[in-house]
A and B are shown apart, each in its own frame.
Chain A
């Protein structure tokens, strides 16, 4: 298994399409996945709490290994249950925004946003302004409200210009204004190719270009909102 899938976009590159393909078995998740996310497209995966949505994102981000099957990103095998090696998360060029945000508590907001080795100062500046974080750039995450913290997490994931942005319940604990800002950013011309999971069909319909419904670890429906 070589070291890196062809997902690199670079800081200023345009969004690219991302092919997700595989037979994914992990816990209760049994998923035949064949999905092409178009450049800049937002695909929402909806489903109930035990549907396996978060597991799917963690598998894509390289945070969990498959129990069985394999996973390809853009035709590149990043995980194969029969192979002890796999492509580590830092080589996958995905941006992950977990539900509980996981901001680095010892770093300021600006240092959180600029953490990715791929983040340029210009990109960090742009995101601090775009997500209205400039005024709290020197604060620690513990001094931020829930909405601010969520915006920091989104900005941090976007700063390295990932090829695929993975959002886990992005609007949880957001106030209306924060939700609107994130939606605006994702809806902007240069928004990244995005896969988000949510339990909220209304949010999915409001933000996504396409919706996939996951139930008990399997895709049961797919379509446009």
Chain B
């Protein structure tokens, strides 16, 4: 038995098509202007390869930190009755809605050489974060963490804790329950959250340039290199944009069940 398809009102369809066109147009423009014939040469340039290396290094390390910090944080938000939970969640979401430049400025005043914590890092451990690759990792982690936490926390809430309770009655201590019940069931959501967080880290611009600068080979990531190239070498900017577009499409693949339902 098949359902009778819903007939959309015509004005709704027209606006929906306009929305699709609005989202698709920039991508089409990029593909249409892309220097396909000289792409090999452009992507082989030292500046492009350096930016790719910095971007991959920074985003992969940031994604790793996001999983380590974000999984327990999501679990606590979903399962533990902590005081001021709404405030804590708002704090977690904040980097999602905060202009990245503001995030970078905040990081500078917190972790800069004269910052709240940064002065002690510098004085006691000789650690300087601003304008270093480590700083770029910190900036990327800051903006990417909420994407992971929100995805995993949502999955934990949807799953509920019935099976975890069940495992407890069978004599399994909490860590065993986490390892054998919670984490295996959470893996798809962790994968989806990781993909989103990694994509966000890869595309990070504002917080990075504010906190870590734009130093070739050290903190100049693909988005920064693209922005830089727009002024001097538009073809290289197009090539770099294509790389970022391709990576974004690849990231959509593991999250397709979540964001791209089959119907």
Please list the residues of chain A having a beta carbon within 8 angstroms of any beta carbon in chain B.
61-63, 88-90, 92-96, 98, 100, 102, 104-106, 115-118, 156-157, 160
Whether the Cβ atoms of B170 and A156 lie closer than 8 Å is: yes
B163: interface (CB < 8 Å): yes
Between B166, B172, B181, B185, the greatest number of chain A beta carbons within 10 A of the residue's beta carbon is seen for: B166
List 11 A-B pairs, Cβ < 8 Å. Answer: A90-B169, A90-B173, A92-B169, A100-B162, A102-B166, A104-B181, A105-B185, A106-B185, A117-B173, A117-B176, A156-B170
Whether the Cβ atoms of B163 and A102 lie closer than 8 Å is: yes
B180: interface (CB < 8 Å): yes
Whether the Cβ atoms of B168 and A88 lie closer than 8 Å is: yes
How far is B165's CA from A93's CA once the two chains are assembled, in angstroms?
Answer: 14
Whether the Cβ atoms of B163 and A62 lie closer than 8 Å is: no
Whether the Cβ atoms of A89 and B168 lie closer than 8 Å is: yes
Whether the Cβ atoms of A117 and B169 lie closer than 8 Å is: no
Q: Which residues of B contact A105 (CB under 8 A)?
A: 185
Q: Which residues of A contact B9 (CB under 8 A)?
A: none
Whether the Cβ atoms of B180 and A115 lie closer than 8 Å is: yes
Q: Which residues of A contact B165 (CB under 8 A)?
A: 63, 89
Q: Which residues of A contact B163 (CB under 8 A)?
A: 102, 104
Where chain B touches its partner, the secondary structure class is: helix
Smallest Cβ distance from A138 to chain B, in angstroms? 17
Contact of A95 among B162, B167, B170, B173 (CB under 8 A): B170
Q: Which residues of B contact A156 (CB under 8 A)?
A: 170
B83: interface (CB < 8 Å): no
Smallest Cβ distance from A107 to chain B, in angstroms? 8
Please list the residues of chain B having a beta carbon within 8 angstroms of any beta carbon in chain A.
162-163, 165-174, 176, 180-181, 184-185
Further pairs besides A93-B171, A94-B169: 16, Cβ < 8 Å: A62-B168, A63-B165, A63-B168, A89-B165, A90-B171, A90-B174, A92-B169, A98-B166, A100-B162, A102-B166, A104-B181, A115-B170, A117-B172, A117-B176, A160-B170, A160-B171
Q: Which residues of A contact B180 (CB under 8 A)?
A: 115
Q: Which residues of B contact A98 (CB under 8 A)?
A: 166
Q: Which residues of B contact A117 (CB under 8 A)?
A: 170-173, 176
How far is B88's CA from A7's CA once the two chains are assembled, in angstroms?
Answer: 41
Residue of A nearest to B181 (CB): A104
Pairs of residues from A and B, 5 with the lowest C-beta to C-beta distance, nearest first: A116-B170, A89-B168, A96-B169, A102-B166, A90-B168
Q: Which residues of A contact B181 (CB under 8 A)?
A: 104
Whether the Cβ atoms of A115 and B167 lie closer than 8 Å is: yes
Smallest Cβ distance from B174 to chain A, in angstroms? 8
Q: Which residues of A contact B185 (CB under 8 A)?
A: 105-106
Q: Which residues of B contact A94 (CB under 8 A)?
A: 169
Smallest Cβ distance from B208 to chain A, in angstroms? 39
Between B162, B170, B180, B181, the greatest number of chain A beta carbons within 10 A of the residue's beta carbon is seen for: B170
Q: Which residues of B contact A96 (CB under 8 A)?
A: 166, 169
Between A93, A115, A157, the greatest number of chain B beta carbons within 10 A of the residue's beta carbon is seen for: A115
Residue of B nearest to A160 (CB): B171
How far is B176's CA from A117's CA once the two chains are assembled, in angstroms?
Answer: 9
How far is B45's CA from A170's CA once the two chains are assembled, in angstroms?
Answer: 70
Whether the Cβ atoms of A90 and B172 lie closer than 8 Å is: yes
Q: Which residues of B contact A92 (CB under 8 A)?
A: 169
Whether the Cβ atoms of B169 and A89 lie closer than 8 Å is: yes
Residue of A nearest to B177 (CB): A90
Smallest Cβ distance from A20 to chain B, in angstroms? 16
Q: A102-B162, A106-B185, A115-B180 are in contact. Are A61 and B169 (CB under 8 A)?
A: yes
Contact of A157 among B170, B172, B176, B184 (CB under 8 A): B170
Q: Which residues of A contact B176 (CB under 8 A)?
A: 117
Q: Which residues of A contact B173 (CB under 8 A)?
A: 90, 117
How far is B181's CA from A89's CA once the two chains are assembled, in angstroms?
Answer: 16
Q: A104-B181, A106-B184, A106-B185 are in contact. Are A116 and B166 (CB under 8 A)?
A: no
How far is B181's CA from A98's CA once the two chains are assembled, in angstroms?
Answer: 17
How far is B184's CA from A105's CA once the two chains are assembled, in angstroms?
Answer: 10
Between B162, B171, B176, the greatest number of chain A beta carbons within 10 A of the residue's beta carbon is seen for: B171
